[in-house]
A and B are shown apart, each in its own frame.
Chain A
Amino acid sequence: MRAFLSSITRFTAQQPLGAAGAVIVALLVAAAVFAPALAPHGPKETAFAPYLPPSAAFPFGTDNLGRDQLSRVIWGARLSLYVGVASVLFGVTLGALWGVVTAYFGGVADGASQRVVDTLMALPPIILALALMAALGQSVNNVVLALTILLAPTAARTLRSVVLSIKASPFIEAARAVGCPHWRVIALHVVPNTTATYIVLVTVNIAYAIVVEASLSFLGLGAPPDEPSWGAMLTAGTQALEAAPWMFLVPGLAISLTVLGLNLLGDAIRDVTDPRLRGGLG
Chain B
Amino acid sequence: MNRSFSRLTLVVLMAIGASVLGAFAQDKPRSGGVLTWFDYGDPGRLDVHAESPLVVQQATAGIWSGLLHWDPDDPTKLAGDLAERWTASPDGKTYTFNLRKGVKWHDGQPFTAADVKATFDRILKPDFKGPKCGASLKPIVASVELADPSTVQFRLKFATPAFLPSLASAWCRVAAKHVLEKYGDLDRPEAQIGTGPFKFKRYERGNMVEWEKNKDYFVPGLPYLDGVKQYILVGGPTQLAAAKAGKVLLWDTWPPMRKTQADELQRARGNDVEIYQWPINTVYVVYMNTTKPPFNEPDMRRAVNLAVDRQDLVAKALEGAGVPCAILDPKLVGDFALPLDEVQKAPGCRQPKDADVAEAKRLVEKHHPGGLDIEIAFRAAGNYADRAQLLVAHLRKIGIRGTLKSYESAAGYAVYGKGDFTMIATQDRAMDTTDPSNVFHIVYTTEAGSNYARYSDPKIDDLANRALRETNHDKRKQLYWELQRHILSSAPGAIAVGWVEGWFFKDKKMMNYKPAPTAYDNNTFMKVWLKE
Q: Counting CB contacts under 8 A, is A243 at the interface?
A: yes
Contacts of B392 in A (CB 8 A): 44, 226
CB atoms of B405 and A137 under 8 A apart: yes
A225, A239, A241: the one contacting B388 at CB < 8 Å is: A225
- Provided the pairs A44-B392, A51-B260, A242-B267 are in contact, do residues A64 and B386 lie with their beta carbons within 8 angstroms? yes
Main secondary structure of the interface of B (DSSP, over half): helix
Q: Counting CB contacts under 8 A, is A240 at the interface?
A: yes
* Bitwise interface map of B from 375 to 415 toward A, beta carbon under 8 Å scored 1, else 0: 00000100101101110110010000001111000000000
Contact residues, A228-270 vs B (CB, 8 A): 236, 238-244
Measured CA separation A243–B267 after assembly (Å) = 11
- Provided the pairs A51-B260, A65-B316 are in contact, do residues A46 and B393 lie with their beta carbons within 8 angstroms? yes
Contacts of A239 in B (CB 8 A): 236-237, 258, 260-261, 383
Q: Counting CB contacts under 8 A, is B312 at the interface?
A: yes
Main secondary structure of the interface of A (DSSP, over half): loop
* Bitwise interface map of B from 253 to 287 toward A, beta carbon under 8 Å scored 1, else 0: 00000101101100100000000000000000000
Measured CA separation A63–B115 after assembly (Å) = 54
Q: Counting CB contacts under 8 A, is A194 at the interface?
A: no
CB atoms of A225 and B389 under 8 A apart: yes
Contacts of A243 in B (CB 8 A): 260, 263-264
- Provided the pairs A66-B316, A243-B263 are in contact, do residues A45 and B388 lie with their beta carbons within 8 angstroms? no
CB atoms of B388 and A50 under 8 A apart: no
- Provided the pairs A44-B392, A226-B392, A243-B264 are in contact, do residues A50 and B385 lie with their beta carbons within 8 angstroms? no
Chain A nearest CB: distance from B258 CB in Å? 8
Contacts of B312 in A (CB 8 A): 46
Measured CA separation A220–B234 after assembly (Å) = 12
Contacts of B380 in A (CB 8 A): 220
Residue of B whose beta carbon sits closest to that of A51: B260
Q: How large is the interface on A (under 10, 10 to 19, 20 to 34, 35 or more residues)?
A: 20 to 34
Q: Counting CB contacts under 8 A, is A36 at the interface?
A: no
CB atoms of A64 and B264 under 8 A apart: no
Measured CA separation A202–B333 after assembly (Å) = 63
Contacts of B405 in A (CB 8 A): 137-138, 224
Measured CA separation A216–B424 after assembly (Å) = 23
CB atoms of A225 and B260 under 8 A apart: no
Contacts of B319 in A (CB 8 A): 50
- Provided the pairs A138-B406, A224-B403 are in contact, do residues A46 and B389 lie with their beta carbons within 8 angstroms? yes
Contact residues, B307-323 vs A (CB, 8 A): 312, 316-317, 319
CB atoms of B385 and A225 under 8 A apart: yes
Measured CA separation A220–B393 after assembly (Å) = 19
Contacts of B390 in A (CB 8 A): 46, 65
* Bitwise interface map of B from 487 to 511 toward A, beta carbon under 8 Å scored 1, else 0: 0000000000000000000000000
- Provided the pairs A46-B389, A46-B390, A240-B260 are in contact, do residues A64 and B316 lie with their beta carbons within 8 angstroms? yes
CB atoms of B404 and A241 under 8 A apart: no
Contact residues, A209-231 vs B (CB, 8 A): 220, 224-226
B258, B316, B383, B389: the one contacting A226 at CB < 8 Å is: B389
Measured CA separation A244–B386 after assembly (Å) = 16
Contacts of B404 in A (CB 8 A): 138, 224-226
Measured CA separation A45–B392 after assembly (Å) = 10
B236, B261, B316, B406: the one contacting A225 at CB < 8 Å is: B406
Measured CA separation A224–B264 after assembly (Å) = 28
Tell me which of B236, B258, B260, B261 has the highest count of chain A C-beta atoms within 10 A of its own C-beta: B260
Contacts of A50 in B (CB 8 A): 316, 319
Residue of A whose beta carbon sits closest to that of B380: A220
B264, B316, B317, B403: the one contacting A241 at CB < 8 Å is: B264
- Provided the pairs A64-B316, A239-B237 are in contact, do residues A44 and B406 lie with their beta carbons within 8 angstroms? no
Contacts of A66 in B (CB 8 A): 316
Contact residues, A26-59 vs B (CB, 8 A): 44-46, 50-51
Contacts of A242 in B (CB 8 A): 260, 263-264, 267
- Provided the pairs A64-B386, A239-B383 are in contact, do residues A44 and B316 lie with their beta carbons within 8 angstroms? no
Measured CA separation A64–B316 after assembly (Å) = 7
Measured CA separation A137–B377 after assembly (Å) = 12
Contacts of A244 in B (CB 8 A): 260
- Provided the pairs A45-B393, A224-B404 are in contact, do residues A238 and B237 lie with their beta carbons within 8 angstroms? yes
Contacts of A236 in B (CB 8 A): 386
Contacts of B261 in A (CB 8 A): 239-240
Measured CA separation A138–B403 after assembly (Å) = 10
Chain A nearest CB: distance from B286 CB in Å? 16
Contacts of B264 in A (CB 8 A): 240-243
Measured CA separation A244–B260 after assembly (Å) = 9
Contacts of B236 in A (CB 8 A): 238-239
Contacts of B403 in A (CB 8 A): 139, 224
CB atoms of A46 and B406 under 8 A apart: no
Measured CA separation A138–B405 after assembly (Å) = 7
Chain A nearest CB: distance from B402 CB in Å? 8
Residue of A whose beta carbon sits closest to that of B237: A238
B267, B383, B388, B396: the one contacting A44 at CB < 8 Å is: B396
Contacts of A65 in B (CB 8 A): 316-317, 386, 389-390, 393
Contacts of A224 in B (CB 8 A): 403-406
Chain A nearest CB: distance from B216 CB in Å? 44
Measured CA separation A238–B261 after assembly (Å) = 11
Contact residues, B390-446 vs A (CB, 8 A): 390, 392-393, 396, 403-406
Residue of B whose beta carbon sits closest to that of A45: B393
Measured CA separation A44–B403 after assembly (Å) = 13
Contacts of B237 in A (CB 8 A): 238-239, 241
Chain B nearest CB: distance from A79 CB in Å? 15
Chain B nearest CB: distance from A48 CB in Å? 10
Contacts of A51 in B (CB 8 A): 260
CB atoms of A220 and B383 under 8 A apart: no
Contacts of B267 in A (CB 8 A): 242
Measured CA separation A64–B260 after assembly (Å) = 10
Measured CA separation A242–B263 after assembly (Å) = 9
Measured CA separation A34–B71 after assembly (Å) = 63
Contacts of B260 in A (CB 8 A): 51, 64, 239-240, 242-244
Measured CA separation A225–B384 after assembly (Å) = 10
Measured CA separation A242–B236 after assembly (Å) = 14
Contact residues, A168-224 vs B (CB, 8 A): 220, 224
Contacts of A241 in B (CB 8 A): 237, 264
Chain B nearest CB: distance from A110 CB in Å? 41
Contacts of B317 in A (CB 8 A): 65
* Bitwise interface map of B from 225 to 250 toward A, beta carbon under 8 Å scored 1, else 0: 00000000000110000000000000
Residues of A within 8 A of B (CB): 44-46, 50-51, 64-66, 137-139, 220, 224-226, 236, 238-244
A-B contact pairs, 14 of them (CB 8 A): A44-B389, A44-B392, A45-B393, A46-B312, A65-B316, A65-B390, A65-B393, A138-B405, A220-B380, A239-B260, A240-B261, A241-B237, A242-B263, A244-B260
Task: List 7 additional A-B contacts (Cβ < 8 Å) besides A46-B389, A224-B406, A242-B260.
Answer: A44-B396, A46-B393, A64-B260, A64-B386, A224-B405, A242-B264, A242-B267
Q: Which 5 A-B pairs have the closest CB atoms?
A: A243-B260, A238-B237, A226-B389, A46-B393, A225-B385
